[in-house]
Amino acid sequence: GDDRRPGVGPSPDLVIVACADVDLDPLAVLGLRPGDAHLVTNAGGVVGADTARDTAASRRSFGVSRVVGVPPG
């Protein structure tokens, strides 16, 4: 079985930017599980200066090469 947990194992190369809506599960929408991607959430899933900074930090620190946006439902 796969016993991966968030923060354990290889670092994913994917960042998901999504709305912080509690009814939205961006991992499930994309067929992913906890630990498969870095998740950045905010009001409306807007890519503003702070989100761009967080995404850039993930690229530098974790080798992230892909960014996916999940708009609010």
DSSP 45: G
pLDDT band at 6 (very low <50, low <70, confident <90, very high): low
Q: What pLDDT does residue 18 have?
A: 92
> Is pLDDT of 42 > 60?
yes
pLDDT band at 1 (very low <50, low <70, confident <90, very high): very low
CA distance 9 to 18: 23
Q: What pLDDT does residue 46 have?
A: 84
Would you mind telling me the total number of residues written for the chain in this entry? Answer: 73
